[in-house]
C-alpha cells in the first residue's frame, strides 16, 4: 500500500484530482521468428574485460573462455600420467610400431621356446623311456634290480636341467634386448617420432652389453639366493624326522621372505633398464637413479606393474589351458582302453611343444606391454620429480623451429654428457 498525501476530509472544498487514463504501452522492437531471445551483438576484435581500479590487469576474452590442455606431441600428454593413460599408451605401443616391437619380440621368444621345447622333448623322451624300461624290468623280475640307476635316467635328467639352464640364459638375453628396444620406442613416440627397427637398433649401440650384463646379474643373484636357501633346507631335512618338519616350516617362512624381498627389489630396481638406455648411465649409476626415482611411489608403481602381470597371466592361461585339455581328451579318445608308454610319451612331447609355442606368442605380447608400462612409469616419475615434461615440450618446440644440435632431453643431470 502507498500513503496518499493528497487525501482531504469529506467536507473539504478542494475537489478530488481528475482521473487520468493510463498511457499507451511502449512499442517493442520486432523480433524475427526463431531468434528469441535476441542474440547480443558480438564484441569487437580485441575486446577485453576492464576490471575496476585496484584489481589485476584485464584478461582477453579469448583467454578467459577455456582451459588450455598440456601439449601431446606423440604417445602421451606431457603432464603427470594417470593409470588409464599409462595402460592405454602401453597397448598403443604395439599398434604404433608393431614391426619394431611385437614382430621382434615374437621372433626372439619363439626361437627361445623352440630351443627349449626341442631340447626338453628329446631329453624327456629319453628320461621317460628309461623310467619305463626300469619299471618293466623290475616288474618282470619281481624287484627293481640290484640298486643301480640306468644311464638313460641320469643323462635324461641332466639333459633336462642343462636345457632349462640354457633356455633361461637365452630368455634373459632376449628379454634385455626387447626391453631396450621397447624403451627407446616409448621415448621416441613420446616426442612424436617413429623409428623403424634399424634406427632403434642403432640407438641401442653401446647399451646392449650393459642391458645383457644387468639381466645376467639379476638372474645369477636370484638363482644363488634360491639355491642357498634350498640347499640349507635340504641339509636340515636330512638330519631326521624332526629336521624334516623344521625344514618344511622354515621353507614356508623363507619362501614368503624371498617373495617379499624380491617384490621390493623388483620395484626399487625396475627403472634400471630405462636409465641404462635413455640416460646412458652405468649399471651402478642406473641402480642409484632407479632407487631414487621410486622413492615415495612404491605402492603406485607396484600396483600398476602387478596389474599388468596379472592381466598377461590370465590371458596366457585362457589361451594355453584349452590346448592342454584338448591334448588330454585327444589321448583318451584315441586310446580308450589305455595308452602304451610310447603313446603317452608322444602325447606329452607334442603337448609340450604346442603349449610352449602358444605361451611364447602370448608372452611376447606381454613382454612388450609390461616393458612399455615400466618405461611410462619411469617417465611419469621424472615428470613428477624433475619436471621432465617442460624439457620435452621445449625440445619439441625447438625441433619444430628447425634448430639443430638440441641436447638430449632424457639425459639425467646427474650423468655427464661424455659417459656412455
Which span out of 27-31, 96-100, 337-341, 355-359 was modeled with the highest average pLDDT? 96-100
Q: Which residue has the cell 641436447?
A: 407
Q: Which residue has the higher pLDDT, 18 or 229?
A: 229
Q: Which stretch of 8-22, 71-85, 200-214 has the lowest confidence by average pLDDT?
A: 8-22
pLDDT score for 403: 84
Of 192, 119, 117, which is closest to residue 162 (Cα–Cα)?
119
Residue 52 inside a domain? The answer is no
Q: How many CA atoms lie within 13 A of 128 on its CB side?
A: 16
Q: Does the pLDDT at position 388 exceed 80?
A: yes
Q: Which residue has the cell 606381454?
A: 366
Which span out of 1-5, 31-35, 171-175 was modeled with the highest average pLDDT? 171-175
Q: Does the pLDDT at position 56 exceed 80?
A: no
Q: Which residue has the higher pLDDT, 217 or 135?
A: 217
CB 416 within 8 A of CB 111: no
pLDDT score for 210: 93
| Mean pLDDT taken over the chain | 77
pLDDT score for 144: 44
Could you list the residue range(s) of the whole structural domain that residue 354 is in?
83-132+151-400
Q: Does the pLDDT at position 362 exceed 70?
A: yes
Cα dihedral 229, 231, 236, 238 in deg (nearest 10): 150
CB 138 within 8 A of CB 144: yes
Residue 62 inside a domain? The answer is no
Q: Does the pLDDT at position 20 exceed 60?
A: no
Residue 28 inside a domain? The answer is no
Q: Does the pLDDT at position 308 exceed 90?
A: yes
pLDDT score for 193: 84
Measure CA 236 to chain center.
Answer: 41
Q: Which residue has the higher pLDDT, 320 or 133?
A: 320
List pLDDT tens digits, range 70-82.
Answer: 788 888 898 999 9
Residue 63 inside a domain? The answer is no
Share of the chain above pLDDT 90, in %: 27
As to burial, measured by CB atoms within 10 angstroms (0-12 exposed, 13-18 middle, 19+ buried), residue 233 is: buried
CB 388 within 8 A of CB 409: yes
Confidence of residue 381 (pLDDT cuts 50, 70, 90): very high
Confidence of residue 330 (pLDDT cuts 50, 70, 90): low
C-alpha distances out from residue 5 to 9, 15, 151, 322, Å: 12, 15, 131, 101
pLDDT score for 239: 80
pLDDT score for 61: 47
Residue 295 inside a domain? The answer is yes
Residue 340 cell numbers, joined: 602304451
List pLDDT tens digits, range 223-235.
Answer: 899 889 888 888 8
Residue 284 inside a domain? The answer is yes
Question: What is the spatial distance between Cα 84 and Cα 304, in angstroms, rounded to a whole number?
Answer: 10
Number of independent structural domains in the chain: 1
Residue 92 cell numbers, joined: 598403443
Question: What is the spatial distance between Cα 416 and Cα 168, in angstroms, rounded to a whole number?
Answer: 35
Q: Does the pLDDT at position 26 exceed 60?
A: no
Residue 290 inside a domain? The answer is yes
Residue 178 inside a domain? The answer is yes
User: In sequence order, what are the beta bridge partners of 48?
Assistant: 60
248-263 mean pLDDT: 90
CB 247 within 8 A of CB 236: yes
Confidence of residue 13 (pLDDT cuts 50, 70, 90): low
What are the two backbone dihedrals, phi and then psi, of residue 358, each rounded to the nearest 5 degrees?
-65, -40
Amino acid at each position: 500500500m502507498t500513503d496518499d498525501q493528497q487525501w482531504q476530509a469529506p467536507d473539504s472544498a478542494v475537489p478530488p484530482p481528475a482521473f487520468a487514463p493510463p498511457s499507451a504501452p511502449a512499442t517493442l522492437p520486432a523480433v524475427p521468428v526463431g531468434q528469441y531471445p535476441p542474440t547480443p551483438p558480438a564484441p569487437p576484435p580485441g575486446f577485453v574485460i576492464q576490471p575496476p581500479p585496484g584489481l589485476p590487469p584485464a584478461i582477453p576474452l579469448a583467454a578467459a573462455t577455456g582451459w588450455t590442455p598440456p601439449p601431446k606431441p606423440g604417445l602421451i600428454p606431457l603432464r603427470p600420467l594417470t593409470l588409464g593413460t599409462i595402460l592405454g599408451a602401453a597397448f598403443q605401443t604395439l599398434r604404433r610400431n608393431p614391426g619394431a616391437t611385437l614382430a621382434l619380440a615374437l621372433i626372439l621368444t619363439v626361437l627361445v621356446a623352440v630351443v627349449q621345447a626341442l631340447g626338453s622333448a628329446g631329453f624327456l623322451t629319453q628320461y621317460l623311456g628309461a623310467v619305463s624300461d626300469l619299471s618293466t624290468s623290475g616288474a618282470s623280475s619281481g624287484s627293481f634290480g640290484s640298486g643301480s640307476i640306468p644311464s638313460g635316467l641320469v643323462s635324461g635328467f641332466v639333459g633336462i636341467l642343462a636345457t632349462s639352464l640354457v633356455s633361461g640364459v637365452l630368455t634373459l638375453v632376449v628379454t634385455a634386448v626387447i626391453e631396450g628396444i621397447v624403451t627407446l620406442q616409448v621415448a621416441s613416440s613420446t616426442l612424436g617420432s617413429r623409428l623403424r627397427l634399424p634406427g632403434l637398433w642403432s640407438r641401442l649401440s653401446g647399451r646392449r652389453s650393459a642391458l645383457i650384463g644387468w639381466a645376467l646379474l639379476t638372474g645369477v643373484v636370484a638363482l644363488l639366493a634360491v639355491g642357498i636357501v634350498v640347499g640349507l633346507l635340504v641339509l636340515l631335512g636330512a638330519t631326521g624326522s624332526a629336521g624334516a618338519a623344521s625344514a618344511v616350516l622354515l621353507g614356508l617362512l623363507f619362501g614368503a621372505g624371498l617373495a617379499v624381498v624380491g617384490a621390493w627389489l623388483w620395484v626399487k630396481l625396475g627403472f634400471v633398464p630405462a636409465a641404462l638406455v635413455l640416460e646412458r648411465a652405468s649399471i651402478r649409476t642406473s641402480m642409484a637413479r632407479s632407487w631414487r626415482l621410486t622413492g615415495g611411489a612404491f605402492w603406485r608403481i607396484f600396483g600398476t606393474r602387478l596389474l599388468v602381470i596379472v592381466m598377461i597371466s590370465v590371458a596366457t592361461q585362457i589361451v594355453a589351458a584349452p590346448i592342454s585339455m584338448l591334448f588330454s581328451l585327444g589321448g583318451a579318445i584315441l586310446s580308450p582302453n589305455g595308452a602304451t608308454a610310447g603313446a603317452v610319451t608322444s602325447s606329452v612331447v607334442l603337448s609340450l611343444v604346442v603349449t610352449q609355442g602358444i605361451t611364447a606368442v602370448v608372452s611376447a605380447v606381454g613382454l612388450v606391454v609390461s616393458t612399455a608400462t615400466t618405461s611410462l612409469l619411469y617417465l611419469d616419475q621424472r615428470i613428477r620429480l624433475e619436471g621432465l615434461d617442460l624439457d620435452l615440450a621445449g625440445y619439441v618446440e625447438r625441433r619444430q623451429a628447425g634448430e639443430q644440435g638440441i641436447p638430449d632431453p632424457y639425459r639425467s643431470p646427474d650423468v655427464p654428457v661424455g659417459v656412455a
